[in-house]
Amino acid sequence: MTKPNITIQHVTASERPIEAVIILPTFRRPDHLVRTLDSLKAQETARSFAIIVMENDDESLAGAKAARAWFEENPAQAGIALIAHDRGNCSAYNAGIQTALAHYADFSHLLIIDDDELATKHWLDRLIEASETYRADLVGAPQTPVFEDVAASRRWARHPVFTPHYKSSGPVPILFSSGNVAIRRRVLQAMGPEWLDPAFNFIGGGDADFYTRAKDRGFTFAWCENAPVMETMPARRTEASWINARSVRNGAISSIIERRHGTGAQGGLKRHVRNIALLSASPLRSILLAVRTRSPAIGLYHVQVAVGRFMAEFGRVAEQYRQPEKN
C-alpha cells in the first residue's frame, strides 16, 4: 500500500480551531454532491467543522468543479477540495483522512458521509455526543434509504442490504459501513498511515476490514440511532440482479476478512466449518426470513450470502464498484 496521490484544488481557511472534520468522497455525482454539502452547511451545531471533498474522478473532475464552486459561494465554511488520483473508494477515504490530519491539528472526531447521502440537521452533534456518552472510539448510525422507485421500495425496503445492523443506540461489538460514521482522532493516528486497504477498492469491504483491525487493537464501538443520513437509492439498486450481486458480495467479503484475520491452519479450519454451517443453515434461515418479510425474493438473502462465501474461497469476487454506472 502507498500513500494516496493527492492534488489540492481549493482551501477555505477558518478563523476558529476546527473541532470536527467531515470527509466526503465523490465520483460522478456533482449534483447530489451539492445537495450533500448543503445538508452539511445546514447543521445546527455550535461546533466548528471543516469539510474535505475528495474527487475520485480525475478525468472529468465534475465533482471537484462543483465542490470548488460551492466553497466559493460559501466562504464562511472551512474546507478543502482535492483530487484523489488513485481510483477506488478506499483510496479516496485515505486521501481525505491524510489531508485532515495534515491540515487540522485540533479536531477530535472525523465524520464520513457519502455523496449520495443527506445529513439530518443534528447529525454532527449527535454522532459526537454518542461517542462521548458511550466512550466509544467509533460510532455508526443508520443510512436510511430513499428509493427513487416508490413501487420497488415497497418490495425491497425490508431487505437486509437496505436495513441497518442495529436498532437502538448504545455500545455495539463492531460496525460494518463507512457511509455514516464518526471516528476519534486517536484511532486514525494509531491505524495510519494507510487506513483502508486499497485491495478492497472495487469489491467493497475496506471499511469492514478497517473496523476488524481497529477492534483487534482494542478500540470500541457504538451505535447512534438518532443520527441518520438519508441515502438516495436509484432505481438500478432495486433491480433483482443488483440486489443478488450485493448479497453474494456481502458473503464473499465476510469470508475474505475472516481469511485475513484468522491466520494459520486453525483459522482456515474455523472458516471452512463456518462456511459449511452457514450453507447448511441457509435454506431454513431463508425460509424464516421469507415468512417474516412476506417475500420469497428477500428470503433468498441467506442462501446468497452462503454462496458468496464459497465463491470467495475460489477467488471469485465480483468487483461491484469497477463499473460505477451499474452500482
Beta pairing, strands 229-233 & 143-147: parallel
The residue among 205, 235, 265 that closes a domain is 235
In a domain, 1, yes or no: no
Q: pLDDT by residue (tens digit) across 150-161?
A: 888 888 999 999
Residues 15 and 132 in one domain: yes
- Sheet holding 143-147: strands in order across? 117-119, 229-233, 143-147
Hey, what's the torsion of the CAs at 156, 56, 111, 210, to 10 degrees? 80
The span from the CA of 210 to the CA of 184, in Å, is 14
The residue among 191, 218, 235 that closes a domain is 235
Predicted TM-score (pTM) of the model is 0.93
Q: pLDDT by residue (tens digit) across 79-103?
A: 999 999 999 999 999 999 999 999 9
- What pLDDT does residue 325 have? 62
Establish whether the linkage from the previous residue to 193 is cis, with ω within 30° of 0: yes
Dihedral-angle region of residue 176 (phi above 0 means left; psi in -120 to 50 means alpha; beta otherwise): alpha
The span from the CA of 313 to the CA of 219, in Å, is 29
Residues 214 and 260 in one domain: no
Beta bridge partners of 252: none
Residues 155 and 85 in one domain: yes
In a domain, 123, yes or no: yes
8 A C-beta contact, residue 112 and residue 93: yes
Give the pLDDT of the chain (327 residues) as one tens digit per residue.
Answer: 456 699 999 999 888 899 999 999 999 999 999 999 999 999 999 999 999 999 999 999 999 999 999 999 999 999 999 999 999 999 999 999 999 999 999 999 999 999 999 999 999 999 999 999 999 999 999 999 999 998 888 889 999 999 999 999 999 999 999 999 999 999 999 997 889 999 999 888 999 999 999 999 999 999 999 999 999 999 999 999 999 999 999 999 988 898 887 655 566 677 778 778 887 888 899 999 999 999 999 999 999 999 988 888 877 776 766 666 666
Beta pairing, strands 20-26 & 49-55: parallel
Ranges of beta strands (E only) in the chain are 6-12, 20-26, 49-55, 79-84, 109-113, 117-119, 138-140, 143-147, 170-172, 180-184, 221-223, 229-233
Instruction: Write the DSSP assignment of 53-86 as a string of letters.
Output: EEE--TTT-HHHHHHHHHHHH-TTS-EEEEEE-S
- Number of folded domains that form the chain: 2
Q: How far is CA 316 from CA 209, 262, 313, in A?
A: 18, 20, 7
In a domain, 245, yes or no: yes
Residues 314 and 216 in one domain: no
Please report where in the chains the cell 460522478 appears, as a residue. 28
The span from the CA of 187 to the CA of 97, in Å, is 11
Residues 230 and 246 in one domain: no
- What pLDDT does residue 195 have? 95
Q: Which domain, by its residues, includes 99?
A: 6-235
8 A C-beta contact, residue 129 and residue 220: no
